[in-house]
Amino acid sequence: MQLEQARHRAEALRQLINKHNFQYYVLDDPSITDNEYDILMRELIDIETDFSDLITPDSPTQRVGVSPVSELKEVKHLAPMLSLGNAFNEDEMRAFNKRIKEKLSVNSLVFSGETKFDGLAVNILYENGLLVTAATRGDGSIGEDVTHNVRTISQVPLSLFGENIPHLIEVRGEVVMTHKGFTALNDRQRDKGEKVFANPRNAAAGSLRQLDSRVTAQRPLAFFAYGIGEYKGKTNLTSHTSILRQLKEWGLPVSSDTKRLNGIDACLSYYAEIGAVRSELAHDIDGVVFKVNEISQQRELGFVSRAPRWAIAYKFPPLEEITQLLDIEIQVGRTGALTPVARLSPVNVAGVTVTNATLHNIDEIKRKDIKIGDWVYVRRAGDVIPEIVAVIKEKRANVSDFNMPNVCPVCGSDVVRQEGEAVYRCIGGLSCSAQNIQAIIHFASRKAMNIDGLGDKLIIQLTESGLISTVADLYSLSKEQLVTLERMGEKSAENLMAALEKSKKTTLERFIYAMGIREVGEATARTLAMRYKSLELIEQATTGELETISDVGPVVAFNIYSFFQQKHNLEIIQRLLLAGIYWENNEDEINLIFSGMSFVLTGSLQVMTRDEAKQKLISLGAKVTGSVSKKTNYVVYGENAGSKYEKAIELGITTLNEESFIKMLEKEK
């Protein structure tokens, strides 16, 4: 692709992707599938990779984060970000309404009602439609510069679109995290042995104030606009509801729960309506905000102290109650992580009876000084699992300490906690029923045993029906058993039986990878197979021996050694071998000639695809990375190589065109 052709295509792709972002995030009405969207984004990334000069600040690809900043600098808001007065009951709401009517000398008022997000307020400045800066509320006049992080949030447009884009506008809104995203984030944090967040608000605030935006880019943040500050534009914005409507037309997401309300009774009804569905919302809210709708009336009412007279937040009652912690039990997750769960004396929290609460990990239990028998404060927020907020130590009596178990309560395998991790894990792997579905899905996957036709849904169906509980059970299935399953005809059953039979012939590296040993991927599995050449020798390897292997550090060595020390795992392996799984031991296999070397591929290859080249290099022991550094040994380039090739030349790294690369491979055969 020539430069000018690439320029036009990149611009067309940006417009198309921005249109689909608007349909997805703002209109909630996507017109293409996620896969089709990914294809468009991949094409744009490839063009910008090959022609780095074509990258624009507002390109949808520029959301992955940049190098860390040293500190968050201060940003002065053009118009102050004011706080809101609060109301806690109906009488205070009616008093608010009365004050405004008397001040304006009117008999009735029109309000805008909207949910009060429980997140972190931000102010985003757009100049001529382009995002310039983003800052936290701070003290209302000066906030912290979080532009680098806000740019990573998918819902925030990097450039406004539509008609009559203002010369300048400050968009006020809230950065939040959904309950689903919060749960997934904490699961990942626990899996990595890192700090878990207390609630979605803390998670959103902590993510937004990261110095490293590459971390923020991995966090499931969302954004909703709820107003404006300084504004210089042609469009005459006469009401709050018209402001929100216009923001949406310019590509900014606004809450779909916003409503135009006639009079105080309508406001109170709306408050009750939102309160009734509060627990069903995707994100946390802590009240409802009511604003006088007409901008002219807002100006007339003005401000008192640092809050507008024309707006108020009607807060919901707290989602906390007191109950007794009766016991602490252990749940084993799909990755083997052991999570302590509090069993509580039943208590009604925000209309829902709560009997369990997550305790996250032993460090969290110790930090909060939680003991069995304590009286505790329990919080519930939407679909998030309830949690213990704090202990009431004044009521402590007849309590006992909790200790993590040494063996898995599900399968009896050893439980380990690696240095630097907060999580205890069962290393039963193949034999632990708490982990079996994920273990079987991995075992059957294309890069493992490659059992064609055995997808996730069928595996779940097989386990839930009781036909299988471990990977070894797959090879005991019969056609007669399979045809009893829903949507499984005779032909499909025959095909699956044939696929199972075909999968029995494999390679040692595939078999090792299929075992699902923690942190043992394809490359490590191949290295182990090439080093030991037999499963028996791998089973007998010590951690000290394993650590001498390239790219196998202490943690991975411990994982491999521990896996093969569990008799349950060895029993499963023996059953698999007895079922007929085999591989040919070939002493003359190709040596890992590129072991320890780092390659980068760039540009368009003609004889083989970049993926084929990558797989070939990995099979020969190489590392294939996406960026060029001083540690890179070779850069293999094709047509339209772009910035990676230029950086290689700049750093003095050896470059190979496709012809030279293929000759190198042939020479090393």
126-145 pLDDT per residue, tens: 999 999 999 999 888 899 99
Query: CB–CB of 217/152 below 8 Å?
Result: yes
Domains of the chain: residue spans and CATH: 3-54 (1.10.287.610), 85-315 (3.30.470.30), 320-395 (2.40.50.140), 429-583 (1.10.150.20), 598-667 (3.40.50.10190)
pLDDT band at 289, cuts 50/70/90? very high
3-state SS class at 516: coil
What average pLDDT does the segment 385-412 reach? 90
Q: What is the pLDDT of residue 382?
A: 45
Return mean pLDDT, the chain. Answer: 87
pLDDT at 588 over 50: no
Question: For 62-95, what is each residue's pLDDT tens digit?
Answer: 776 556 666 789 999 999 998 888 898 999 999 9
pLDDT band at 427 (very low <50, low <70, confident <90, very high): confident
- Report pLDDT for 67: 60
Whether pLDDT at 324 is above 90: yes
Residue range 491-510: average pLDDT? 94
pLDDT greater than 90 at residue 295: yes
User: What is the pLDDT, as a whole number, of residue 36?
Assistant: 77
The per-residue pLDDT for range 362-395, each reduced to its tens digit, is 988 998 999 999 999 998 654 456 888 889 999 9
Instruction: Tell me the average pLDDT across 416-428.
Output: 83
pLDDT at 589 over 60: no
Mean pLDDT along residues 336-340: 90
DSSP code for 611: H
Query: How far is residue 176's CA from residue 205's CA, in Å, rounded to a whole number?
Result: 8
Q: Using 50, 70 and 90 to split pLDDT, how confident is the model at 633?
A: very high
Q: What is the arithmetic mean of pLDDT over 470-492? A: 92
Higher pLDDT, 66 or 542: 542
Q: Global pTM?
A: 0.53
Burial of 94 (0-12, 13-18, 19+ CB in 10 A): middle
Alpha carbon distance 492, 471 (integer Å): 20
488 CB-near residues (< 8 Å, 6+ apart): 458, 482
Residue 587: predicted pLDDT: 46
- pLDDT tens-digit series, residues 240-285: 999 999 999 999 999 989 999 999 999 999 999 998 888 788 888 9
What is the pLDDT confidence band of residue 454, given thresholds at 50, 70 and 90? very high
Which residues are CB-neighbours of 459 under 8 A, at least 6 positions away? Answer: 437, 440, 441, 444, 468
Q: Is 116 a catalytic residue?
A: yes
Is the pLDDT assigned to residue 214 strictly greater than 90?
no
User: Active site residue: 116, 248, 644, 647, which one?
Assistant: 116
CA 482 – CA 492 distance, rounded (Å): 9
Among the residues of 218-277, which ranges form H helices? 240-249, 264-277
Say which residues have a Cβ less than 8 Å from residue 469's Cβ, sequence separation at least 6.
Answer: 433, 436, 463
Measured CA to CA, the distance from residue 534 to residue 538 in angstroms comes to 7
